[in-house]
Structure 1
């Protein structure tokens, strides 16, 4: 009987190594140098009750070292001073345009409705998106992300990092999860089957939005203005990735496990609407991770423990190599110190999210 468990462990280890081979598409990708294009760009920020964060974000957007851009600020029916803050900046800067969205009974609390109005109001065809609660990592953020546009590349997927907090396991876990999500997103894009992006750092040409009729296919789903749009519009031919140090956006992470768990529930809930191929591959990766650790622990407790130890060593070595190079590219090297423990803890969290979402629906943009 023990021999069968060993065979199963060998099989799932092989599956895991195939995934790390897939992730190496990003890890070992060589950067291609592109020249700045200075395309006319509209930076779109959709904000709901973000008065405090806008006071931080808008000045940094205005300081971008870029020749031709406007900032489209969308007030999505805020109940705080968000609109007033926007108007103050608009009065002092002619590069700012405000789209004030009032509550609409048919689209109550739907961010996609507000974004659609903002996209239609934008004067430029090249659109760059970010969120009110994050900031660009540098003044060349716009120049870095727009240089990936070309005659064929109309959608750009960027990296949205989280700020570091010293002596915080939760912060380390959040950034490790973000790193792994980015490695998968970038690798699948390199493979030619892009499936997701983060709304706090992505860009696309207006024509791509209207080609798929905007968010119409998932307008009734509260979340997914980023990944579900990618599902409809992105292909291996029209999508590029951008991860240079100056192209990153930085957000403040949640400071409590409960708040982060609630946030991840919202994000994960959209995955049920992905294409079958993506759901299958993502599900297989997760299930093979769980199976690998469960079988490893079991076989280590038998007389076959030496074989299990060898497979564990091979798997961890390959993981450290591929994820390590990726972490170095995205400046998340400190997440490697506790990699196996972070992976195991994250697997438990993801299982908890799965159970919680089965029991009740997560809350969304209000």
Structure 2
């Protein structure tokens, strides 16, 4: 290897490593060392509306909905919240189950949608119907296939609205199951949360996930709902937050009792389809957010190939090894505490393998940013 080529490769490697370390220190460490305390018996200060959209979820609803309806969020033993389930043109027997439980829960009701909105794919139309029908200004959103991590989920999410916050970001992990695919799904979900939590805690919020998200109804109407991106099937969560969030109006709740758990995909092709759909919304983020995310992704993509090549340049071999060791130490410490904070610490022993695999993740899914139109159905 010539000196000129060796120096160029080493420079690319060192720059990529430096960028990675800066992101871990500036953004991701905020998740790792997040120390806000929450009161699980927090007395309700605001009535809440939980909105859930369902489409052909007759199996998921009986498993998950009771946990939402039985939250410990009461004033004088009366529920200080309502639960609205919007049944969007389901072709199964969801409507019979939803109707059968209404008498047992006075704070619950469901809305049947029997006609789809033209030119509005995905769940934005049913979600808008549910939000418009909500009685209270403080909304909490989750999915029909999600189950709260505890009976304190709603109380903990409500505490995120303190100090004038209008949006609250929660974590929506997937259940731990056997198999390598499950670990990949959970790691990718953790890594996404590491970014959107870290940036939000740094005052640069850019997205949230609809499996566990809260915001004010007034904020929704102030930003004209999903009008700006209603033609896209995805984006009811991340694109809305991307437009409505600012450095002062977003709260973060990281507490395992406030998580909202989902069943993971069990086949690679189904997960690929899900991720391709989700990735397609990224090109619609604000320019600054795309730049911030793109710089980290590029550094991640460049790091491992440049590292391998830099190891074959003897004059700077010890410097290369020193950079690798320093980055590994910082990244390992931050990753351990962040994984522990998000109750995913069993993934720590796989995190370096997963980190290497992220190179292939970018190769596979980046084209979705440019070629996927985001018009697929949500179910």
Q: Say whether the fold is shared (TM-score over 0.5).
A: yes
**What's the counterpart of residue 31 of structure 1?**
36
**What's the counterpart of residue 263 of structure 2?**
252
**What's the counterpart of residue 338 of structure 1?**
350
Q: In the alignment, is the contact (CA less than 8 A) between 2:38 and 2:156 conserved in 1? A: no
Structure 1 SS opposite 2:52: strand
C-alpha change, 1:139 and 1:307, in structure 2 (3 Å) is same
Alpha-carbon distance in 1 for matches of 2:58, 2:165: 35
**What's the counterpart of residue 7 of structure 2?**
3
1:100-179 matches, cutoff 5 A: 100-107=112-119, 109-166=121-178, 168-179=179-190
Alpha-carbon distance in 1 for matches of 2:121, 2:165: 32
CA RMSD of aligned residues (A): 1.6
Alpha-carbon distance in 1 for matches of 2:207, 2:33: 21
Structure 2 SS opposite 1:51: coil
Q: Could you tell me how far 1:201 is from its partner in structure 2?
A: 0.4
Alpha-carbon distance in 2 for matches of 1:342, 1:172: 9
Alpha-carbon distance in 2 for matches of 1:190, 1:108: 33
Structure 1: runs of 5 or more not aligned? none
Structure 1 SS opposite 2:164: coil
The CA deviation string for residues 110-158 of structure 1, in whole angstroms up to 9 with x for no partner, is: 3111111101111111111110111001011111110121251121000
C-alpha change, 1:284 and 1:108, in structure 2 (3 Å) is closer
**What's the counterpart of residue 99 of structure 2?**
87
Please, which moves more after superposition, 138-147 or 56-65?
56-65
Alpha-carbon distance in 1 for matches of 2:356, 2:86: 40
Structure 2 SS opposite 1:337: helix
Q: In the alignment, is the contact (CA less than 8 A) between 2:137 and 2:217 conserved in 1? A: yes
Alpha-carbon distance in 2 for matches of 1:305, 1:199: 47
Q: In the alignment, is the contact (CA less than 8 A) between 2:139 and 2:217 conserved in 1? A: yes
Q: Are positions 1:53 and 2:39 aligned together?
A: no
TM-score (normalised: structure 1): 0.95
Q: Could you tell me how far 1:359 is from its partner in structure 2?
A: 5.2
The CA deviation string for residues 302-348 of structure 1, in whole angstroms up to 9 with x for no partner, is: 32433322211111111111121111111111111021211121330
**What's the counterpart of residue 20 of structure 1?**
24
**What's the counterpart of residue 364 of structure 1?**
377
The CA deviation string for residues 182-230 of structure 1, in whole angstroms up to 9 with x for no partner, is: 1111111111110111101011111111111111111111110100110
Q: In the alignment, is the contact (CA less than 8 A) between 1:266 and 1:364 conserved in 2? A: no
The CA deviation string for residues 290-310 of structure 1, in whole angstroms up to 9 with x for no partner, is: 111111011123324333222
Q: In the alignment, is the contact (CA less than 8 A) between 1:107 and 1:113 conserved in 2? A: no
